[in-house]
Amino acid sequence: MDALEVNDIATILVVDDMPDNLILMSHLLKGTYRVKVAASGEKALKIASLNPPPDLILLDIMMPLMDGYEVCRQLKRNTNTMNIPVIFLTAMSEMEDELKGLELGAVDYITKPVSPPIVMARVKNYLALKRMDDFLHNQNEFLEREVAKRTQEVIVVQDVTILAMASLAETRDTDTGNHIRRTQRYVKALALQLRDHPRFAWFLTDANINMLFKSAPLHDIGKVGIPDRILLKPGRLDPSEFEIMKTHTTLGHDAIMHAENMLGCSVEFLSMAKSIALSHQEKWDGSGYPQGLSGDEIPIAARLMAVADVYDALISRRVYKEGMTHEKAIEIMQEGRASHFDADVLDAFIEIQEEFRAIAQRFADIDKDVLTQTGIIPCLKPAETFATGLASAAPLTPSTSTGT
């Protein structure tokens, strides 16, 4: 057992009320071990609770006042002493006594008069067992810490990758990455609101809510494949351009799928990202795109994303439109209840609309619009006053079909 080699000599505590027995046992043991002795149960408990504790206790049963059973019981009750192996030393050798002692947590019995080779053999065995046990325990703790550390690293890499990918898509059509931050927080807020709802509770576990939050930024990743002349067009898209714009859903889905295929295995959060990218433009009544899914066919993650995305699109200023007020956005979205949006998801949104407003304000674009529309009037800098003048075009499509 090289791994367990210890320089320290093990300490054995011998407990017996008979001085002769203490002398006999310590003579036997002291050539190999450090020996401590206790002439009563009380003293034994005191020595056992010192730091460092003994490595093993040889415990007489028949003692006045506190007997060996009681000492053992108290040792096993205290977390500091419960792992010290106890061997009973006894003149009694009734089977029931032995069973009682072992049930109290002792590891073995040695019958008096003791046989020195047996005492030495048992002590050696139980010390070896204890060391092995401690070694495994330390090893497990070490491994658990190591796993936690590596897991944390993997999570960080994952987060950075998602944000980098999402930012690529984002920077093409807005000035800041705040749309990503807002929508992922709207989605999380909605998920938390709906987690106890009978229709959604099965899906909205802690793990899935976390995954939703992380994968939400990838919902528009497919926009990297949309030509600038369409993505950045400062006006209404014509039908053929709109058809191209719609492909951002399948482009995003396919990009993530290719990544998955290259990895050769499916990763949970990528599956969720894929379904959000593909289906966040679907509508409850089946009039959305790209697959025209309806009702519960639309993945829950995508239904939450639809509400978050539309709200953000409505209140945000784009190259082709002004942002709306929070109140106006709510009014328009209400019209889409059970047609555009899952009614329960929309109701949850209405219930926590103040939270949406707060998120919008906290992660406002560096631009006066979102702030003014949501009720906060920031100090205007000269540059921002100019910016407003440029954004006067009408919304891309009527009512709720904004937020491509």
Partner 1 sequence: MDKLHLAEKPTILLVDDTPDNLTLMSNLLRSAYKVKIASCGEKALKIASSDQPPDLILLDIMMPGMDGYEVCRQLKREPGTMNIPVIFLTARAEMEDEQKGLELGAVDYITKPISPPIVMPA
Q: Cα–Cα distance between 174 and 232 in angstroms, integer?
A: 9
Q: Look up residue 32 and give its amino acid.
A: T
- Which span (112-120, 259-267, 295-303, 331-339) binds partner 1, by CB under 8 A? 112-120
Total number of residues that touch partner 1 (CB under 8 A):
20
CA angle 188, 323, 164 (to 5 degrees): 45
Q: Cα–Cα distance between 240 and 243 in angstroms, integer?
A: 5
| Cβ closest to partner 1, residue 98 vs residue 384 | 98
Residue 164 binds partner 1, judged by CB under 8 A: no
Which helix (H) or strand (E) element contains residue 50? none
C-alpha distances in Å from residue 276, one per residue of 178, 192, 304, 307: 18, 18, 9, 12
Q: Look up residue 167 and give its amino acid.
A: S
| Cβ closest to partner 1, residue 90 vs residue 249 | 90
| Cβ closest to partner 1, residue 113 vs residue 198 | 113
Residue 118 binds partner 1, judged by CB under 8 A: yes
Residue 125 binds partner 1, judged by CB under 8 A: yes
Residue 150 binds partner 1, judged by CB under 8 A: no
Burial string for 89-102 (b: 16+ CB within 10 Å, else e) reads bbeeeeeeebeebe
Query: Starting from the edge strand earliest in sequence, which strands make up the sheet with 86-90, in order?
Result: 34-38, 11-15, 56-60, 86-90, 108-111
Residue 93 binds partner 1, judged by CB under 8 A: yes
| Cβ closest to partner 1, residue 27 vs residue 381 | 27
In angstroms, give the least distance from the CB of 9 to partner 1.
Answer: 20
| Structure-token pair, residue 180 | 């990503």
In angstroms, give the least distance from the CB of 148 to partner 1.
Answer: 19
Of 121, 157, 207, 232, the one binding partner 1 (CB under 8 A) is 121
Beta bridge pairs of residue 87: 58, 108
| Structure-token pair, residue 20 | 């002769």
Of 27, 46, 77, 137, the one binding partner 1 (CB under 8 A) is 137
Residue 133 binds partner 1, judged by CB under 8 A: yes
DSSP 320-355: TBPPPPHHHHHHHHHHTBTTTB-HHHHHHHHHTHHH
In angstroms, give the least distance from the CB of 23 to partner 1.
Answer: 19
User: DSSP assignment, residue 235?
Assistant: S
Angle, in degrees to the nearest 10, between helices 300-315 and 353-362: 60
Residue 107 binds partner 1, judged by CB under 8 A: yes
Of 117, 239, 264, 382, the one binding partner 1 (CB under 8 A) is 117
In angstroms, give the least distance from the CB of 18 to partner 1.
Answer: 21
In angstroms, give the least distance from the CB of 109 to partner 1.
Answer: 6
Of 23, 99, 160, 232, the one binding partner 1 (CB under 8 A) is 99
Residues within the interface to partner 1 (CB under 8 A):
93, 95, 98-99, 102, 107-109, 115-118, 120-122, 125, 133, 136-137, 140
